[in-house]
Structure 1
Amino acid sequence: MRTPLQKGEQVLLVTHTSWVKLIVPVLIAIAGWVAAFFLNFLEWGWTAALVGSLYFLIVYFSWKVNIWVVTNYRVIDEAGLLNHFAKESPLEKINNVSYDQTLWGRILNFGHVEIQTAAEVGATDYYNVHGPKRLKDTITLAQAEYKNIQLANQAQHMASAMGIQAGEVKYQAPSSQGIASELEKLHQLKQQGIISEEEYIKAKNKLLS
């Protein structure tokens, strides 16, 4: 992976295109060496062996750098042997992830993954993915964890703004017009487990006093 990670970013999954892509290059390389053997490794024989091997190496290293990476922040599509191509889909922008496999895809464990995002481009398609279900499930789980962290951060910010820190209620009563709204916020904090029942009652009594 050549794309630099952000602060706090962790790689959850790295996958490639299916190894099926390497079958033809392997056969060509083998055919080149077989031809070289039957030609007694003369000039044309060595040429066939070298061309077949070179073709295999080019395809192999292209396959090796063509990857999809799932992190706790984004999904990265990275490719390019000499040039570098990278496309990112932030987890918060992904609306839906789906995959499909043909019969051969199910047998050999490869398929197509579609990621629908809120961006203008709409859907992003990944073809011949090795382990498409695993990629889809990893993205879905990463999204859920990301949303949970965001909700926890928002709740913590709300608690800090209301003066609830380190298990202690430091609450100042608002104006009469905002009492209903503040009571609702307190109730949400209690439901999320950020404050205890005792803290909730104490803050509620201060509001109503």
Structure 2
Amino acid sequence: MGYPDKLLGSDEQVVRHLHPHWLTVFWPVVFFLLVVGGASFGAALVDSGSDNAGLFRLLILGAAVLLLIALVLVPLVRWRTTHYVITTHRLLFREGILARKGRDIGLSRITDVSYSQSVWERVIQSGTITIESAGDSGATVLKQIPDSDGIQQLINHMIEEDADRRGRENAGYLRGEGQGAPRS
């Protein structure tokens, strides 16, 4: 599924659209299996001959549903609604389920892009990317980025392409080819 075109400029294109590394959903899947298994086992332990067997099973089911929402559904939806988008002009970050927050950084404003990986992150090809940009907002730290070293190289490449594009546009504007340029 592509990123919504309504958020992009007329000459802007999505180069890469990422979510956090898939391993971030590992524990929610483990919790799903544990909760379903535990609830099934607990429901099977309830004595069928008891007068309150239905009530006990209903309580076990209710507890299981609450645990599934808190430990499985919320992390999965949070993972799915976290977007890291690299376009031809900027980087877009969006996250949040009900309340959303986001940040856009123009490629021309980025001053440094670095990444770091622990030994485990190297094995699973994940890492942390730190983006420093001109302005008062400080560094942007993105954790659990898949192929973090490749993404760092891609961002640096896009910064260079953006600078080249801006140079061509400025040269065209100075020659009178740009919009609003004085005509002779």
**What TM-score results when the alignment is normalised by the length of structure 2?**
0.79
Aligned-residue Cα RMSD (Å) equals 1.9
State the 1:48 CA deviation.
4.2
Q: Match of 1:145, as an amino acid? A: E
**Paired residues for 1:1-209 under 5 Å:** 1=3, 4-40=7-43, 42-55=57-70, 56-160=72-176
Structure 1 stretches of 5 or more lacking a match? 162-209
The one-character-per-residue Cα deviations of 1:86-127 (angstroms, maximum 9, x if unpaired) are: 111110100111101000101111111011111122321111
> Separation in 2 of the partners of 1:97 and 1:52?
39
> Separation in 2 of the partners of 1:98 and 1:87?
18
> Separation in 2 of the partners of 1:18 and 1:155?
41
> Separation in 1 of the partners of 2:21 and 2:158?
23
Determine helix, strand or coil for the equivalent of 1:24. Answer: helix
Q: Match of 2:27, as an amino acid? A: V
> Separation in 1 of the partners of 2:86 and 2:15?
5
Q: Match of 1:113, as an amino acid? A: I
| Relative contact order higher in (CA < 8 Å, ≥ 6 apart) | 2
> Separation in 2 of the partners of 1:122 and 1:49?
42
Contact 1:35 1:48 in 2 (8 A): no
> Separation in 1 of the partners of 2:139 and 2:60?
48
State the 1:51 CA deviation.
2.8
Matched-pair identity in %? 22
Determine helix, strand or coil for the equivalent of 2:143. Answer: strand
Structure 2 stretches of 5 or more lacking a match? 45-56, 178-184
> Separation in 2 of the partners of 1:4 and 1:134?
25
Determine helix, strand or coil for the equivalent of 2:23. Answer: helix
Larger Rg: 1
Q: Match of 2:42, as an amino acid? A: L
Determine helix, strand or coil for the equivalent of 1:31. Answer: helix
Contact 1:14 1:70 in 2 (8 A): yes
